[in-house]
């Protein structure tokens, strides 16, 4: 008798290769980090990565209580990094951090095989977790998104943070049903939720056991009020201690102090997104004296008007270079 394709047994089921059922882990079990993870910039020279400066930044963040480093993400300009450079930055960061705090490596791709290759490499050189963005440009269906993500998860043993950012992926977003299925895969641990949709965050919190990290600095406290574990942050590049403190205060029950600190920074946070990230934050770091080098095209210098706004807001907030 011919075997029936599993997908054919239920034509309404978009997930033909479901993960085996397992008891729900309690949210927080196996958490990679709580608090503030910096989506760290990659310092460049005109010819490559400035590894001396990257080491300075790593030590700066550890000294200022950053809870985790996310390397080669959006803010790190990974999309303009050739594979060998991308890999060398992950390896360098993992070695320099040396397990003092977790390192999460951005290894997502719109090519499943490429994402698997990068993910296996990152695991082999000591990354503590992986950040996996949804496929961009070619995109896929929810079934394809499930299969793509499952294939990556099955290729490694370290935790995976799903990266939901439809504003950068042509509108492709994990549906709640897809997240519920992916959450059954043991090493799919968390989600960086960057839709800005608090209703969606609430539904993820209610219906999955994924650890939730805000992917937007302007909603850190609202996400934590829904059970979020912290933030993967852009503003932490220039205010690491303050970003850590917002999360730590909330986590330890000092919610009013957390809210006050968060709101005191909201104008600066918004200003860091007046142009495409990471243009403003990298520009701010260079204005403040961090010397993190140029942006890579197609990213370009800020407009004069926006640069003036950025400088004024940095001054209003008394932000200084701490290196």
Q: Catalytic residues, which ones? A: 163, 192
Nearest CA among 227, 199, 219, 216 for reference residue 164: 216
Interacting residues of 160 by C-beta distance below 8 A, sequence separation 6+: 129, 130, 132, 149, 152, 153, 187, 188, 189, 190
For 53, phi then psi, to 5°, come to -70, -40
Nearest CA among 159, 145, 208, 155 for reference residue 14: 145
Nearest CA among 29, 24, 20, 78 for reference residue 49: 78
The answer to whether 267 and 252 are in contact (CB under 8 A) is: no
Nearest CA among 218, 230, 211, 233 for reference residue 265: 218
- Angle of helix 83-97 relative to helix 51-63, nearest 10 degrees, comes to 40
Interacting residues of 244 by C-beta distance below 8 A, sequence separation 6+: 35, 36, 64, 65, 66, 67, 236
Tokens representing 305 are 């008007």
Could you give the C-alpha distances from 81 to 27, 105, 134, 217, 223, in angstroms and in order?
34, 14, 18, 25, 31
Q: How far apart are CA 242 and CA 130, in angstroms?
A: 25
């Amino acid at each position: 008798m011919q075997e029936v394709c599993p997908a054919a047994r239920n034509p309404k089921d978009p997930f033909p290769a479901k993960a085996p059922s397992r008891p729900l882990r309690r949210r927080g079990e196996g958490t990679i980090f709580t608090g503030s993870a910096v989506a760290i910039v990659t310092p460049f020279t005109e010819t490559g990565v400035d590894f001396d400066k990257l080491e300075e930044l790593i030590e700066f963040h550890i000294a200022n209580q950053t809870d985790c480093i996310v390397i080669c993400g959006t803010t790190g300009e990974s999309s303009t990094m050739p594979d060998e450079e991308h890999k060398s930055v992950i390896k360098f960061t993992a070695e320099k951090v040396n397990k003092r705090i977790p390192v999460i490596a951005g290894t997502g791709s719109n090519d499943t095989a490429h994402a698997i290759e990068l993910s296996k490499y990152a695991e082999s050189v000591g990354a503590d977790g992986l950040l996996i963005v949804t496929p961009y440009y070619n995109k896929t269906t929810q079934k394809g998104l499930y299969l793509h993500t499952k294939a990556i998860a099955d290729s490694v043993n370290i935790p995976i943070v799903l990266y939901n950012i439809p504003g950068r992926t042509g509108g492709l977003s994990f549906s709640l049903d897809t997240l519920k299925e992916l959450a059954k895969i043991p090493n799919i641990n968390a989600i960086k939720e960057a839709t800005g949709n608090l209703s969606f965050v609430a539904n993820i919190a209610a219906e999955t056991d994924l650890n939730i990290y805000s992917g937007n600095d302007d909603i850190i406290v609202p996400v934590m009020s829904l059970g979020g574990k912290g933030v993967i942050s852009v503003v932490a590049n220039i205010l690491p201690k303050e970003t850590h403190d917002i999360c730590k205060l909330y986590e330890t029950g000092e919610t009013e102090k957390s809210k006050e600190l968060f709101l005191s920074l909201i104008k600066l946070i918004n200003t860091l997104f007046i142009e495409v990230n990471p243009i403003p934050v990298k520009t701010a770091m260079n204005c403040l004296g961090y010397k993190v080098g140029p942006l890579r095209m197609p990213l370009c210098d800020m407009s004069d008007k926006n640069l003036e706004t950025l400088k004024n807001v940095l001054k209003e907030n008394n932000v200084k270079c701490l290196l």
